[in-house]
Amino acid sequence: MTILSDQDIRQEIGINIYIYPYKKDNLKGSSYNLTASQLAWDLSTRKSIYDSSQNKITIQPKTTALIETNESIWVSQKISGTYYSRVREVSKGTGHISTTLDPNYIGCSLIALRNHSQSPIEITPETDPFVTLIFQYLHTPSTKEQTRNTSGRRDLLSTLGIQLNKEETEFLDREFMNNKDALLNKLLECDDYKIIQKNESKKKKRDLNKYQIKRKTFFLKNNNNILF
């Protein structure tokens, strides 16, 4: 098992990893930061803790929130992941996160966050990174072709008795949350992904030039050896 660096993640994006929305600022040295969506509930009341008038999620002291990530992710059979806390968040008093992303999972992720502090903790959806995801290469590809888990773990939400409103249902029903090809199409729309593609094709051209120069030098040397 090897952890993917930022270079590895950039190389795998669009091949073995799809992320939408993809933003280069969320890519760290060896992880990718995830932001919250507007879908967030208090675990004990089962009620939404997102305030649309302020565009904020508020986790009250000594409560646990369930928050859907804004990012939808797919990984192939060659990759798995681990969700971790960010020091910025735990330093405010949130509990640690340590859960797993299975090969072949697709969709947003459901993150449970406990506020151990005495003060409310606020998160701005789509802006504040609140969890980080590490990707690992698997030594051999996983044999589990499809995970039976639903995007955003809707299965768990209904078990917990969380009723989704119209907007929440629409958010989770978007095609790219459940369909790998649709997710790739969305990734292709991301400006920061277009930059990766441009840089990759420049790199390929540079590598090809280097190879052709090496080849030419080799033939010239060999021809000279034959002549003299």
Binding site for ligand DCP (CB under 6 A): 83, 99-102, 105, 109-111, 147, 149, 153
Question: What SS3 state is found at 182?
Answer: helix
Note whether 65 and 42 are within 8 A (CB). yes
Within 13 A of 94's CA, how many CA atoms are on the CB side? 25
What is the smallest separation between the CB atom of 124 and ligand DCP, expressed in angstroms?
20
**What distance, in Å, lies between the first and last C-alpha atoms of the chain?**
53
What is the smallest separation between the CB atom of 198 and ligand DCP, expressed in angstroms?
31
What is the smallest separation between the CB atom of 75 and ligand DCP, expressed in angstroms?
9
What is the smallest separation between the CB atom of 100 and ligand DCP, expressed in angstroms?
5
Q: Which is nearer to ligand DCP, 121 or 196 (CB)?
A: 121
Q: Which is nearer to ligand DCP, 53 or 159 (CB)?
A: 159
Q: In what order do the strands lie in the sheet with 50-51?
A: 50-51, 56-59, 121-123
Q: Which is nearer to ligand DCP, 155 or 191 (CB)?
A: 155
Structure tokens of 177? 């949350």
Q: Which residue minimizes CB distance to ligand DCP?
A: 102
